[in-house]
Structures are given as structure tokens and as C-alpha cells.
Structure 1
């Protein structure tokens, strides 16, 4: 039966269990990635205190006066670092060029916190993927907490990619040398309580799919949340499970799997007028992306005999640069 809602999967048996346990988790993940492209994972091993710490320090950053936040504003459209103000982007443009109304959130981004070899990080092919991070002066502990969280998400992403390898009938370490110098982004978003009515069609985040390999999302159960479009074309709410992460695959992994797995449209809707009070909401999002020079070529186990791959090979960096620079920025 095709999954029409986002499943909750405990991945602890993959981390700690028998080969049969690992295979069962991988099979459940495969079904979710084939049918809806989203899943919620528990049993991931990330301490809840880490989620509480980054949630608290992020809220204090967004509570700063706008003048303070603008001290670390994003320096250029092709540099995924720093602060972006409310309505500063319209990610829905990736699917609809007419979606010009800015999204009703503000955000802050960092990239890799442990740089690889300088020749690799500084090469022309690296572009801005290893651009310096911008750190606010306040809260003073934000840099330490973000660096710790970024590393934890890198470790969790590596575990998820191992699960993906097993699900795709590949060696456990198939992806390991393709993500050991990953160019991932950590992005936090604040969705303020609305003070005025949105423009026609304007959402907290417009409908889009993510660009990279996978996304790890920690969010809050507040009015005006994440919705996923299932294979029947219906928008369904993503379940919020305390201590669990929402995971979705992105366009790059869909391409890598020759569309065996789906990169699903999703959006963040506005709260109903009756729920405006208490609708401020925060999300902590880790966009995992492979090494910029990793070749994204259709995985052999995902190509039907006699049909061939659907896509030409491309590097991770070229794929991301093409999508991000041309579609996200409106400010």
C-alpha cells in the first residue's frame, strides 16, 4: 500500500540491532522514500538537551533588535551565510517563477564549521561552499552551540546515508567517501506571530522541494506548520513528535536514485485567524549536501535493465549552484 502520510520510524534498531533489525529499518525507510519522500525518525541518539539549547539560543538571537541582526546579514545572494529578513526570499520560485511574494519568516545560516584541506576548500571549484561563517556578538554562546549542533547533524546525516545505502541494496559505506567533506548548511527560521494579513498566495514558506541529499528538521508544534503533498496530491500535516526529527530527501538524492525516491513538495502554511496568538514558531534545519566534487550518477541498483539512467552525471556543487542561486533570492 502506498504511504499517503508521513511515517514515524525508530532507527535505534539499525544503530544497535541485529542484521535483521537493520534490514527491517532500511525497508521501512525505503518505502517512505519511494512513496512520500518524508519520514520522522526517533531513536537517533541526539540528546534532547542539544535540541533545547539551540532552540533557546536561536530564540534569543531572533529577539534582538533588527539593527543587531543586520550586522550579520547575508553578504551576497550566492553566499549562504548570515541573516535574511522577513520576506527576503521566496523559495516557491523554484517551482513557480510567478511566486514573487516574500516568505513570512526570517532566518540565519551557517556552513561547515570544520574546514577540510585548504587546497580543497579554497579551490575555484569550491565556489562559496566554504565561505566564512558570520557570527553575531550576542548571544555570546550562540557560536559554540551552533558548532556543536552542526557536527551532531553531520554525524546523524552520515548514519542516515548508511541506512539509505542498505535500503538501496548497496554496501553500507557506499556514500561515505562522497560526504566526508560535505557542504551542508544549518539554517534556523523564525516565523513571527502575524500582525497583518498575508498577501494573496503568500505563505510562511512557499511550496518547494529541497535541493540537496537530505534535510533534518527540528521544529515546534505551533499553529501554522509544515505540510507535505502526498502522491494523491493532498496536503497532509507532518507529525510533530517530541525529540524526533523530520527527514526528507532532496532533489539531488532523487536524481541519484534515478527517481526511485521522490523529492516531495512541501510548504509552511499560515496560522488560521483564530490561532494567531501563540503562533510564533521556530525551525532548525540541516540541509545535508555531499562533497562539492562528488559525482551524482544514477545508482546502478536504481536503473532498470534495458532502460538506462534518466539523468546525465553532475557534481553535487554544480547541481546546488544551479538551483540555489537562480531560484531563492528575491531581496
Structure 2
């Protein structure tokens, strides 16, 4: 049994070990990372290095577009909460996040019609720059997201095995992969301004099952909070993804898998902007995680219990215990982007903002 001493670094796992005779070693390392850390680096994965390099090259080029071109893609245009957000447009833990971003998703035609659950309107098409403004951007980003999605399916099976479950025990929550809309962001964190907040994004959890983060540039900034409340650096390592557990997976595994609070500090003065691309694995909108019971072997339960209480600077997505996953995600989007909600979901906007548009809003 692994030690329950709070982690002081994020483990690095070699994905290639899972494909051969050293798979038992990989699963043992993965079990420790999932139960005791909630974060890991994944090296030698299946997303082509050439595709990753193309994505890295395109990332700053998007943010270098004229502001008027980016504003044409503003999120308020989209009932799916997909599109561009200007610098300092979001709040986490009561402070402004110093980041500029565009939210995009895998290709998906919105199937919502009158009378359907309102949360099914959340999934739909992304907004993209004109091809003449950024040739090839849409094609490369779409190929990249599809490639990460394929990796995420296989990795979820490995997580199941590492926890003593059947390989498809967690895949059931994804239903038909062709009917999923995975989301993500392309993010720019500008260099710190003297005397201003260092909060790139404040302490938070991710909501779903798995996040795969590509750290595009070399600047540090990502930090992970261990159970003692200490902040541990997760600085970029070339050729890796940072993978972390979301609150949805923690909920359905009855806390066997650990969702870990994390934050990003703005890059230091003189270091240049930091770019990153998180990919958020989608699960079926129509599952209520509390309706499912997974039977874990006793040793997995013992490891969970030995971990003890956590003391973290963040909050809990408790709605997963009562609501459909699609509604949980829609509520999070509404709280984070009330301008979009006011335009496209007026009834829900009135419910969560009875006093009108807030001066400060927060998804967390």
C-alpha cells in the first residue's frame, strides 16, 4: 500500500508502459496518482507530436488577431457558451482572473428542440475565426481535440482497471462517443503587471471526469494543492499532458478518485505570456451520478480512507449528487457568464441573478 503522506510533487507516468508487459506497473502508478494526488503528467501518449507542435504554433496567432476580429466571436453570441472572452472577464474566488480565452468544442450539431431538457441546448457548434484571417486554425484544432478525445476514452479504461473495476465500468457514462461534445479552451495569461493581482485563475476544481492540459509555453504558473493545503508546482514538461480528475469522477467513485484544487499564477514580469489548452472530457448529459453504485475492491477503499480529510482552498460541485450532469454544467456556465445567460437563458438568469446583472460573477 502506498504511503498516505501528502504529495510534494506531481507524478510522471509513461503511457507506453500501459501497452505492453509493464502494464501492471503502470496501473499501480496510476492507482496511486488517482487516489492520492488527483493529478499526473502523462508522457509518450498517442497524440502525434507533429500535431501538438502545430497547435502550439497556432495558439499565439489567434490572440494576435485584431481585437475587432476576436470580438466578432464573443461568447455572448452563443447559447452553447462557446466563443471568445476578453481579458479579465471572469471571476474566481471573488477576484478577477487575468486571462484571455476562447472556448471551443468538438464538432456537434445542437439537437435541442422545444420541450427537451434545457441543458441539452448547452452542446453545439463552436465559433471560429474566418479562414482568411487564420488559415488552417479550425482544421488543426478540430483534429487535435478529436485526438485528445480518443486518448481520453482509453485512459478512462485504464483508470477503471487501476481501481479494480472492469475496463468499461466508467466508459458507460460516456454512452456513444459520437454523441458527445467535449469542450476546451485556448488560454492566454499575460505577464504580471507590477502591483496588480497575480491570479491567472483562482483556486478551483474541474467539473467533469478528466481534464487533459497542454502547457504550450515554458512559463511556470500551474499549482496543485495537496491535502495539507500546500501549493505544489506543476511546471511544464515537454511532451506531456497534465491530467487531472474532476468532481464528476470523484462523485461517481465515492471519493476513491481524488479531485484536486488547482490554480494558475500569472507569469512573472519579463517572462512573456503563458499559453495553455485544457481539454475537458464530456460525459452524457442525461446521467445522474448518484444513481450509480460502483463496487470497488477493499484495498481501493482502504487507500481512500487512509488518505483522510483534505484541506483545500476551493469548493465542491455538490450538484452532481442530485442533478443530471448536463444541468450541473449548464448551471456552472450560467454563473460564470451571466451576460450569455441573460441573452439565451432568461428564466435561469432570473433564478440565479434575481437582482439583475452582478458586478462580480463566479463559476466557483
CA–CA distance in structure 2, aligned partners of residues 324 and 168 of structure 1: 31
Tell me which residue corresponds to 1:71: 72
Tell me which residue corresponds to 1:193: 191
Tell me which residue corresponds to 2:237: 241
CA–CA distance in structure 1, aligned partners of residues 112 and 126 of structure 2: 19
Tell me which residue corresponds to 1:176: 171
Tell me which residue corresponds to 1:96: none
Tell me which residue corresponds to 1:164: 159
Distance 1:77 1:303, change over 3 A: farther
Tell me which residue corresponds to 1:296: 289
Q: Which deviations, in whole Å up to 9, do the C-alpha atoms of 1:116-169 show, x marking residues without a partner?
A: 9x579x943553332221111121211101110110011011011111111222
Q: Which deviations, in whole Å up to 9, do the C-alpha atoms of 1:74-95 show, x marking residues without a partner?
A: 02686331100100012x24xx
Measure how far apart 1:111 and its partner are. 1.8
CA contact (8 A) 2:221 2:233 kept: yes
CA contact (8 A) 2:213 2:277 kept: yes
Task: Report the secondary structure of 2:8's partner residue.
Answer: coil
Is residue 225 from structure 1 mapped to residue 221 from structure 2 by the alignment?
yes
Task: Report the secondary structure of 2:33's partner residue.
Answer: helix
Which of 121, 146, 149 is residue 151 of structure 1 equivalent to?
146
Please list, as runs of the form range in 1=range in 2, the aligned pairs for 1:227-306 lying within 5 A after superposition.
Answer: 227-272=223-268, 276-297=269-290, 298-302=292-296
Paired residues, what number?
310
Could you tell me which runs of 5 or more consecutive residues in structure 2 were left unpaired when the two chains were aligned. Answer: 302-317, 339-359
CA contact (8 A) 2:56 2:216 kept: no
Please list, as runs of the form range in 1=range in 2, the aligned pairs for 1:128-139 lying within 5 A after superposition.
Answer: 128-137=121-130, 138-139=133-134
Is residue 54 from structure 1 mapped to residue 48 from structure 2 by the alignment?
no
Tell me which residue corresponds to 2:13: 9
Which of 99, 103, 113 is residue 107 of structure 2 equivalent to?
113
Distance 1:312 1:108, change over 3 A: closer
Distance 1:8 1:176, change over 3 A: same
CA–CA distance in structure 1, aligned partners of residues 228 and 206 of structure 2: 20
Task: Report the secondary structure of 2:106's partner residue.
Answer: coil
Please list, as runs of the form range in 1=range in 2, the aligned pairs for 1:3-42 lying within 5 A after superposition.
Answer: 3-14=7-18, 16-18=19-21, 21-42=22-43
Q: CA RMSD in A?
A: 2.6
CA contact (8 A) 2:80 2:125 kept: no
CA–CA distance in structure 1, aligned partners of residues 57 and 116 of structure 2: 37
- Scaled by the length of structure 2, the TM-score of the pair is 0.78
Measure how far apart 1:194 and its partner are. 3.4
Deviates more, 1:221-230 or 1:185-194: 221-230
Is residue 43 from structure 1 mapped to residue 39 from structure 2 by the alignment?
no
Distance 1:196 1:136, change over 3 A: farther
- Scaled by the length of structure 1, the TM-score of the pair is 0.85
CA–CA distance in structure 2, aligned partners of residues 284 and 119 of structure 1: 28
Task: Report the secondary structure of 1:207's partner residue.
Answer: strand
CA–CA distance in structure 2, aligned partners of residues 256 and 163 of structure 1: 16
CA contact (8 A) 2:82 2:104 kept: yes
CA contact (8 A) 1:81 1:109 kept: yes
CA–CA distance in structure 2, aligned partners of residues 210 and 322 of structure 1: 14
Deviates more, 1:143-152 or 1:166-175: 166-175
Tell me which residue corresponds to 2:137: 142
CA contact (8 A) 1:168 1:301 kept: no
Could you tell me which runs of 5 or more consecutive residues in structure 1 were left unpaired when the two chains were aligned. Answer: 94-98
